[in-house]
Structure 1
Amino acid sequence: MRELAVAVSVESKKFFRSRVPFITMLAMLMIPFVGGLFMYILKDPDHAQKMGIISAKAQLAGSADWPSYFGLIAQAISIGGLMAFGFVMSWIFGREFSDRTMKDLLALPILREYIVISKFIVVFVWCLLLSMIVFVLALVVGHQVDIPGYSSELLKQETLVFFVCSVLTLLISAPVGFFATIGKGYLSPLGYVIFTMIIAQIIAATGYGQYVPWSIPALASGMDGSGEMAIEPISYVIVFITGLAGLMATAFWWRYADQN
């Protein structure tokens, strides 16, 4: 355990000394502000048009209330989170190849599995922290915009939905580490993320999204229009298996693949 703690400490220092935390936070903080802007416009479209925020041809659907706002934030973390979390995952694994530090890591007197696990720990902790910041800021923005329909019961319910979507999105991002490893860089994992986002949209449209891991977080956010978590218990199992498979495949490659 001491070796794992040391590995986590080293990976944390490498990660937080880079620009990735700042870039991902900057990108994710757009979610509450954009959501707040949409609610502001929906509250009074005519006033927004007079201020020049939208044009006369703009057509916005939806209602300006807290349930709609929470739903928008949950959908954004399910879709945008996949890109942001995938970016973090691809960087933390892919940088070892682009910076030519892979051989140095493998020469260290530490289990290679510990190195892999430490990288996943850093990614998971940062992405969960990022999700918390987004949610807290979303609450602040929502109150500043003065969106109607807020209640403590709604807050409890939507907090659960938001963080379930965040964790599900984080779990399906785990295979990105494997593709960054076998691709030895950033291109393969980012291509994987884009591919899965496209597949998720197509499968969700067919009605079988609850059985495809990349569609499940968006369905959990109520993106199908029902306003409820439109997934089955098996969906959680599928996402968990996907995340576990990504971690194990990455660890297996680091442990047994030829590194010449």
Structure 2
Amino acid sequence: MSRLGAALGCEVVKVRRSRVPPLTALGFSLGPLAAGLFMVIMKDPARAREWGLISTKAQVFAGAADWPTFLSVVGQTVAIGGWLLFALLTAWVFGREFADRTARTVLAVPTPRWATVLAKLLVVAAMSALLAVWAALLGLGIGAVIGLPGGSAAVLLDGVAKVAMAATLTIALLPPIALAASAGRGYMAPLGLALLLLFLAQVVAATGWGEWFPWAVPALLAGLAGPDAAALGPWSFALVAAVAVAGTAATVAWWRLADHVT
């Protein structure tokens, strides 16, 4: 564990010296802010009509200007927008040394490669979790400022719990992105894979088979396809767990066995 701690400390230092995490947090703020804007528009349709078709689009997008709907939208933001931003963080953490041609330095240190991989995954998970917490807190603040109705303690707890679950499931799906960044030795392969998986998740969810596609599960849980679709079976969560375990094992194996000559 001391070896893992040393690798983790090294990764934390890299994160602290980078501008990527704060910029990602800034981008992540756009989701709750946009959801709040739609809520404001829907609360005042008369004024929204002065702006054209905004009120109609907002109604289709959200449904009702209340706390349950707002928190559902925030959860979907974490599941969908979070997937892209979490994948961006993963691509940066795992692909940085390869893109900067400093991978040999990392591989030359006596720290076991499994410890390096696990440390990177833990850093990615921690940063992603902090972003999800920030989105939830920002969403609660925006909802309070707007004065949305239906904000009972039970509703707020249920909404925040779904945001947390969506974030947890999304984070669990990141190891294949780490593998793509490692095998692809840079940023392009993982980002391309993230976009492909997001596209497939939308297509599969639209056909009604989203519960069998791991990358569609977080958004379905957040209510993207309605409350009925959010009632996922245990197999959906088992598939997400399988992706997490298999992706982590494959990434560790690649770092240990693959040719790292760059």
Give the TM-score of the pair, scaled to structure 2.
0.95
Q: Deviations over 1:115-146 (max 9, x none)?
A: 00000010101110111011011101000011
Decide whether the 8 Å contact of 2:31 with 2:77 is kept in 1. Answer: yes
How many residue pairs are counted as aligned between the two chains?
257
| 1:228 shift after superposition | 6.5
Unaligned runs of 5+ in 1: none
Partner residue, 1:7: 7
Tell me the distance in 2 between the aligned counterparts of 1:78 and 1:11: 25
Q: Which structure 2 residues correspond to residues 129-148 of structure 1 after superposition, within 5 A?
A: 129-148=130-149
Structure 1: 4+ residue segments shifted above 4 A = none
Partner residue, 1:198: 199
TM-superposed deviation, 1:226: 2.3
Deviation at 1:246, TM superposition (A): 1.3
Q: Secondary structure at the match of 1:125?
A: helix
SS of equivalent residue, structure 2 residue 214: coil
Tell me: CA distance 1:151–1:57, structure 2 relative to 1, closer, same or farther (3 Å): closer
Matched to 1:107, the amino acid is: A
Equivalent pair of 1:221/1:227 in contact (CA under 8 Å)? no
**Structure 1 residues 58 and 147 mapped into 2: Cα distance closer, same or farther (>3 Å)?**
closer
Deviation at 1:229, TM superposition (A): 2.3
> d(CA) in 1 for partners of 2:246 and 2:129?
20
2:52 match? 55
Write out aligned runs for 1:1-150 (5 A): 1-50=1-50, 54-56=51-53, 59=56, 60-61=58-59, 62-150=63-151
Could you tell me how far apart the structure 2 residues matched to 1:141 and 1:205 are?
Answer: 30
Q: Check whether the contact 1:90–1:176 (CA below 8 A) recurs between aligned residues.
A: yes
1:193-237, Cα deviation, whole Å (9 max, x unpaired): 000011001111111110101111111111112266231111111
Do the aligned partners of 1:224 and 1:230 also contact (CA within 8 Å) in 2?
Answer: no
In structure 2, the CA distance between the partners of 1:65 and 1:5, relative to structure 1 (3 Å rule), is: same
CA–CA distance in 2 between the matches of 1:216 and 1:115?
Answer: 29
Distance 2:112 2:170 in 1: 28
| 1:186 is aligned to 2:190 | no
- When residues 228 and 210 of structure 1 are mapped into structure 2, their CA distance, relative to the original with a 3 A threshold, is closer
Measure, in 2, the Cα distance between the counterparts of 1:96 and 1:44.
50
In structure 1, what is the Cα distance between the partners aligned to 2:95 and 2:138? 31
AA matched with 2:188? L
Q: Residue 160 of structure 1: CA displacement?
A: 1.3
| CA displacement 1:173-196 (0-9 Å, x = unmatched) | 221000001111000000000000
What percentage of residue pairs aligned between the two structures are identical?
37
- 8 Å Cα contact 1:221-1:228 kept in structure 2: no
Shift of 1:48: 3.2
Question: What does the per-residue CA deviation read over 1:60-116, in whole Å, with 9 as the maximum and x for residues that have no partner?
Answer: 321110011011101111100100000000000111101111111111111100000
Structure 2 CA distance for aligned equivalents of residues 216 and 168 of structure 1: 8
List alignment gaps of at least 5 residues for structure 2.
none
Provide the secondary structure at the position in 2 that maps to 1:147.
Answer: coil
Q: How many angstroms apart in 1 are the aligned matches of 2:169 and 2:186?
A: 25
Could you tell me which amino acid in structure 1 is paired with residue 144 of structure 2? Answer: H
Aligned with 1:189: secondary structure?
helix
Residue of structure 1 in register with 2:244 after alignment = 243
SS across alignment from 1:215: helix
- The amino acid that maps onto 2:197 is T
Offset at 1:16? 2.1
How big is each residue's C-alpha offset from its partner over 1:231-253, in whole Å with a ceiling of 9 and x where there is no partner?
A: 11111110011111111111100
> Which residue identity does 2:41 align to in structure 1?
I
Give a deviation string over 1:136-174, Cα, whole Å, max 9, x none: 111010000111110001111112111000011111122
Quote the Cα distance in structure 1 between the aligned partners of 2:48 and 2:19.
Answer: 36
Match of 2:215, SS? Answer: coil
Query: Residue type of the partner of 2:194?
Result: V
